[in-house]
Amino acid sequence: MKEKVKVGIIICDRYHKCAGGKCLRALRNREGAFSLYKDREVELVGYTTCDGCPGGNVEYAPAEMKKNGAEVIHLATGLVVGYPPCPRISSFKKFIKEKFGLETVVGTHPIPQNYYDTHSKLATWNSEVWQETIKDVICDEEMRKAYD
C-alpha cells in the first residue's frame, strides 16, 4: 500500500463561494502543488477559508485539521493569483509551522494561464521571494491553460 498523507486546504476568503473544483481536480490528478505527492495516497481532512483579512481563521482552522490527522496545510493558489496577492502568505506559513507543527505548502492547483498573463504584465511575481513562493504552482503553459 502507498504511504498516505493527510492534508488541509485554506482558501482566500474573497473566493469563499468557491466549490473547490480546481483544487480537488489538482489533488485527484496530483497536479500543481499536489504533484509533491505523486507517489502517495492523499486524504483531504479539511477545507476552509482564511475568514478574510487579516486571516483570523488561520489562528484556529489548522488545529481542527490537525485533530483530523492533517500533516500538511496547503494555502490555496487563490491566495497568490488574486489581486493583490495575499500579503500575509509568509506569515501564515510561519505561524502554522510554529503554532501547530504542520508543514505548510503555498498552492494547490496550477496557476491558470489568464492569471499568469496578468501578473506577468504587472511584474507581481518577479522577485526571488515570489518565485520561491509560487514554485509549486507555476507549472508549464500547457498545464496553466488546462486550469483556465
Average pLDDT over residues 18-41: 96
Tell me the HSE value of 22 on the side-chain side, using a 13 A CA sphere.
Answer: 21
**What does the pLDDT look like over 58-114, one tens digit per residue?**
999 999 999 999 999 999 999 999 999 999 999 999 999 999 999 999 999 999 999
Distance CA 7, CA 45 (A): 6
Residue in the structure block whose three cell numbers are 507517489: 39
- Compute the mean pLDDT over every residue in the chain, rounded to the nearest whole number: 96
For the chain, domain boundaries: 4-146
Distance CA 111, CA 141 (A): 9
**What does the pLDDT look like over 113-136, one tens digit per residue?**
999 999 999 999 999 999 999 999
**Helix (DSSP H) and strand (DSSP E) numbers for the chain:** 7, 4
Q: What is the fold, at CATH topology level, of the domain defined by 4-146?
A: Rossmann fold (3.40.50)
Q: CA distances (Å), 49 to each of 54, 97, 123, in order?
A: 12, 18, 27
Angle, CA of 141, 6 and 101, to the nearest 5°: 100
